């Protein structure tokens, strides 16, 4: 979990980057395709499994992180 804390402190998720930059996901992808914007600094593939009173739950998410300086 130390990695997640580090990433949340020093990096933006894709959604946060889009919000802080006021651009769309399509615009970001276009810039990356044309090498005008770097690809994510980190790409996590999270596999979450939870057992609780309500039963077992499982989900998988891919989360990209970008350096906060990218908004400049």
Domain spans of the chain? 2-71
Question: What is the overall mean pLDDT for the chain?
Answer: 95
Percent of the chain past pLDDT 90, that is, above it, reads 94
Rounded to the nearest angstrom, the gap between the alpha carbon of residue 48 and the centroid of all alpha carbons in its chain is: 16
Q: What is the mean pLDDT of residues 4-20?
A: 96
Please, are residues 28 and 20 in contact by the beta-carbon 8 Å criterion?
no
For residue range 40-64, what is the model confidence (pLDDT) as tens digits?
999 999 999 999 999 999 999 999 9
Please, which residues have CB within 8 angstroms of residue 50's CB and are 6 or more apart in sequence?
56, 57, 58
**Spatial separation of the C-alpha atoms in residues 40 and 54, rounded to whole Å:** 36
Task: Write phi, then psi, for 19 (nearest 5 degrees).
Answer: -65, -45
């Amino acid at each position: 979990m130390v990695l997640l804390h580090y990433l949340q402190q020093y990096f933006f998720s894709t959604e946060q980057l889009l919000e802080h930059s006021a651009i769309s996901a399509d615009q970001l992808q276009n810039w990356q395709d044309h090498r005008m914007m770097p690809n994510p600094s980190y790409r996590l593939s999270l596999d979450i499994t939870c057992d609780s009173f309500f039963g077992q739950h499982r989900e998988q998410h891919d989360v990209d992180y970008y350096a906060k300086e990218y908004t400049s």
